[in-house]
Structure 1
């Protein structure tokens, strides 16, 4: 293997974190800001690029950092290296309610395509890059745009997503249609396209959006039940929309009646 072999343990249910066990000299890479805790004798270092350790020049590192910037991630990544004589542990937490999914890239033909903010951490040697969507319709209406994350290597990587996660293994020619925001990840052999829902009434009043993500096998896909964008929109919709409204009885029958009649609550 070209990637460091790390062990791990998942904790929690809805707000998970992953504890990575490092042997002496082993390194794990992670998104900046994902650290939860780490033991003594682990050296933390901020680096340019994707953390795979394959860049040989400053320009290569700059290109790797630029790719990450395109996907909306930070220019930097953080490495955690065990410099002690025994095993040490470092833990990384998911940024919102959901699940952390361990992915063994050696069992996925060495490549995984996932949504832009899915990557959490990985063994050193895993390359974190970008995957361009070649179809115009997929890019404009796919929910994730033209660019998705690409994880390559032969080691462990950890991605996170919202709600409950289900893996679906598709046979040759088998088709699965999902909401565009619910797609978390897929293997490289899955054909990904966007399909119009069809029917004016369904499109306008169905509440499910205008497009489906159409996934055609063979390959594996991972689906999330609660995309972060959906959670954020519900929280924003429920939040007070003007200063002081949180103390004026919002959500109550009396508050709604005052709004309806145009009454002054002061």
Structure 2
């Protein structure tokens, strides 16, 4: 094993957090801002790059550059047990949903996921970028041309919104998914973008113009509530004008009020 072997326990249902148990000198890495609590004896350190083992300065610089491309911070946080007994550190999701524990050794050492889905992992897991093979996937994929890839043989924790379903696709089996609902997939899944057919469906269907086509064999994880969808609904319901009046309350009159301000 190249990665540290960590034990864990999930708590909660719709707003989960994961408690990681560290033996002496074991380390877990986490995204910035994911920490919920930790016991005395654990040393927290911010490191440059993705904190995977080896690489020297240039390796760390490359790791940091990869994280910057995916829209993440240049730095990542490590938590090391420097005590004599078992210690615990907990990480929480940034919004309501589920935490998905993944043993990368069971998925041929690689998982491809949304660029903001990574939460925490055992030290040694490499966090990189995955370029999609087809330009259409990049331009219209909803999650962008670049996705994250998690590589190694240890535990990794991915978070997503709402309820999560795991689908095991057989050879040649195809699943069409709203681009924002795709959380993660194994490396052997063929991923492409397909345009919604029909002008009326595209304009008035209430969905996006494109959806993802996932072709097996492989495993995919789907979320019922992407954060972008939740955020758009919250924004639409938030008062936008002075005097405790939202844009929607005034109807067309409220629309004119916008331009009069």
Same fold (TM over 0.5): yes
Aligned to 1:116: 115
Matches of 2:255 and 2:120 in 1, distance apart? Answer: 50
Q: 1:200-255 CA deviation, whole Å, 9 max, x = no partner?
A: 111111111111100000000000000000000001111112123x2x58877xx6
Matches of 1:261 and 1:134 in 2, distance apart? Answer: 46
SS at match of 2:98: strand
After TM superposition, give the deviation of residue 73 of structure 1 in Å. 0.5
Q: 1:220 and 2:229 equivalent?
A: no
Matches of 2:146 and 2:255 in 1, distance apart? Answer: 45
Within 5 Å, give how 1:1-266 maps onto structure 2. 1-55=1-55, 57-244=56-243, 246=244, 248=245
Q: How many residues align?
A: 257
Q: 1:133-161 CA deviation, whole Å, 9 max, x = no partner?
A: 12010000001111000000000000000
Given that 1:113 and 1:149 are in contact with CA atoms closer than 8 Å, whether structure 2 keeps it comes out as yes
Given that 2:240 and 2:246 are in contact with CA atoms closer than 8 Å, whether structure 1 keeps it comes out as no
Given that 2:192 and 2:214 are in contact with CA atoms closer than 8 Å, whether structure 1 keeps it comes out as yes
Matches of 1:251 and 1:177 in 2, distance apart? Answer: 33
Q: Structure 1 residues 201 and 115 mapped into 2: Cα distance closer, same or farther (>3 Å)?
A: same
Q: Structure 1 residues 83 and 199 mapped into 2: Cα distance closer, same or farther (>3 Å)?
A: same
Given that 2:162 and 2:223 are in contact with CA atoms closer than 8 Å, whether structure 1 keeps it comes out as yes
Matches of 1:261 and 1:34 in 2, distance apart? Answer: 42
Matches of 1:48 and 1:260 in 2, distance apart? Answer: 47
Given that 2:111 and 2:187 are in contact with CA atoms closer than 8 Å, whether structure 1 keeps it comes out as yes
Given that 2:8 and 2:19 are in contact with CA atoms closer than 8 Å, whether structure 1 keeps it comes out as yes
Greater Rg, structure 1 or structure 2?
A: 1
Given that 1:175 and 1:215 are in contact with CA atoms closer than 8 Å, whether structure 2 keeps it comes out as yes
- Gaps of at least 5 residues in structure 1 are none
- Gaps of at least 5 residues in structure 2 are none
* CA RMSD, Structure 1 to Structure 2 (Å): 1.8
Given that 1:54 and 1:125 are in contact with CA atoms closer than 8 Å, whether structure 2 keeps it comes out as no
SS at match of 1:107: helix
After TM superposition, give the deviation of residue 260 of structure 1 in Å. 9.7
Report the TM-score, using the length of structure 2 for normalisation: 0.94
SS at match of 1:63: helix
Matches of 1:79 and 1:180 in 2, distance apart? Answer: 32
Q: Structure 1 residues 258 and 72 mapped into 2: Cα distance closer, same or farther (>3 Å)?
A: closer
